[in-house]
Structure 1
Amino acid sequence: MNWTDSLDIAIALDEMYPDTDPLTIGFVDLRDKVMALEAFDDEAQKSGEKILEAIQMNWIEERQ
């Protein structure tokens, strides 16, 4: 996975962090959690606010 795979990342985050509320997570913590995913293989500097926001929105939708 890389930063553009926001839906796949959101699904993986939801599975790995079931007790984390995606509505309350900050972008720095979100980036760290994404980078900790085993299947994630991209560079930290390629992330940005728009990408992290897309991941967070997908995670919120996935949770619902």
Structure 2
Amino acid sequence: MSLKWVDVLEIAIQLAETRPDVDPRYVNFVDLHRWVTELPEFDDEPGRAGEKVLEAIQAAWIEERD
């Protein structure tokens, strides 16, 4: 399975699994963007993500963690 920016929930799940010690409430968007693009299954254009997509991923990650 390949991940695209629209796969917000799956990205959040994978971030929660790969970075269990990170509190997503305090992640800046530069780090978040890098971590998403570093996921092994991520296969999308890095430049296609804007602030709204990163906010959605962060919110889903917070929800997943709680």
Q: Same fold (TM over 0.5)?
A: yes
Q: TM-score, normalised by structure 1?
A: 0.98
Say what the alpha-carbon RMSD is for the aligned residues.
0.4
C-alpha displacement of 1:13? 0.2
1:17 partnered with 2:23:
no
SS for the counterpart of 1:23 is helix
**Alignment-derived partner of residue 62 in structure 1:** 64
**Deviation sequence 1:28-47 (CA, Å, 0-9, x none):** 10000000100100111100
TM-score normalised according to structure 2 size: 0.95
**Percent identity between the two aligned chains:** 55
Query: Number of matched residues?
Result: 64
Equivalent residues in 2 for 1:1-12, closer than 5 Å: 1-12=3-14
Letter aligned with residue 18 of structure 2: M
SS at match of 2:24: coil
| Structure 1: runs of 5 or more not aligned | none
> Partners in 1 of 2:23 and 2:43 — Cα distance?
24
Structure 2 residue aligned with 1:46: 48
